[in-house]
Amino acid sequence: MSTLVFGILTVQTNPNITKSVLSRRAFWDVDLKQLDFDRYPEFTIVRIMERGTSNDIGEVIRYYGKDKVQSILTNSECLLPRAQIISRRLFHLHNSDFKCSTGTQRAKNYSMF
């Protein structure tokens, strides 16, 4: 087990994630017992970055690893501004690094939270 520091978030790397650790804040519409983290990494990572707590974000980075999380976020076609802001701070990215920033976003009316 090692420690990674991402700007404002310190993460202990451990490949085990427990669904009971994740908050219901990000997954209000999903049964966490049924969610398969290995089968749906894009859904899980984007949802946590858009709506999760800092503990949720740490769990996702711990489970998937920094490189996979960063790759999925930068290649996502649509991200809420909150996810972009957090990603820029954690991974030291620029707006031009995100695929969703280079084209036109589909959603025009959305809340930051």
CA pair distance 4, 113, nearest whole angstrom: 26
Q: How far apart are CA 55 and CA 12, in angstroms?
A: 11
pLDDT digits (tens, 9 = 90+) for 51-99: 999 999 999 999 999 999 999 999 999 999 999 999 999 999 998 899 9
The pLDDT tens digits for 7-52 are 545 555 455 555 557 888 888 898 888 888 889 999 999 999 999 9
